[in-house]
Amino acid sequence: RRPNHLPARARKYSAISERDKGDQAVKRGKELLAKKMLTSALEALEQVSAQDPGHPDLEAALKQARESQEIAARLYNQGTAALKDQQPDLAVISLAQLMEMYPFHVQGAVALAEASLAAGKALAEQGFPASGLILLTEAQKYCAASDEKGGRPPRLDVLKNELGFRGKPLAAQVASR
């Protein structure tokens, strides 16, 4: 009898083990969402969905991750469209919201640095050096951005060089005007 009973018991423990793995993966996905690591969270949750589509906690977490990605995409598109339309002030608003919800969006960091640089220069040229200085300082901050895996696009280094050249940061040049 025992040899016939072992496979059923082994299947039972295997099913429990698989459910535990699913629970841990969903928990990990939720932790990544809390850390604002949207891409990694979505990848982790979609992997659970492929392996255990009926997991009880999966649907809500997956919905939240997908909605967050959609909002991030919309904010990025609004910001870059405003930047192309030479409205850096509007671009800064949308892209700052993007970076608040998803600080690992490297293309968003590049666009925000570009928008902040353009808006800061414009304000400084219009006789508002303090306001320009604030935006230039923000632009410098976003030049240090990286994605969830530590990657950095070369454009950030170009912007960083533009913000601080000849040993004197652009922000200091604006402040001295």
CB atoms within 10 A of CB 65: 23
DSSP strands (E only) in 17-174: 164-165, 168-169
Report the number of secondary-structure helices (H) and strands (E) in the chain.
Answer: 8, 2
157: tokens are: 């280094």
Q: What is the pTM of this model?
A: 0.70
**CA max distance for the chain:** 91
The pLDDT of 61-86, averaged and rounded, is: 95
Percent of the chain with pLDDT over 90: 27
More confident residue, 64 or 144: 64
Residue 47 has pLDDT above 70, yes or no: yes
Say what the pLDDT of residue 95 is. Answer: 93
Which pLDDT band holds residue 94 (cuts at 50, 70, 90)? very high
Paired residues of 164 in beta bridges: 169
Of the two residues 118 and 167, the one the predictor is more confident about is: 118
- In this predicted structure, which of 59-68, 70-79, 146-155 has the lowest mean pLDDT? 146-155
- List pLDDT tens digits, range 132-176: 666 666 666 666 666 666 666 566 666 656 655 334 444 454 445
Query: Which residue has better confidence, 118 or 11?
Result: 118
Res 177: pLDDT: 47
Residue pointed to by tokens 């994605």: 147
Band of residue 113 on the pLDDT scale cut at 50, 70, 90: confident
| Of 2-11, 44-53, 111-120, minimum mean pLDDT range | 2-11
Q: What is the pLDDT of residue 168?
A: 45
pLDDT of 20 > 70? The answer is yes
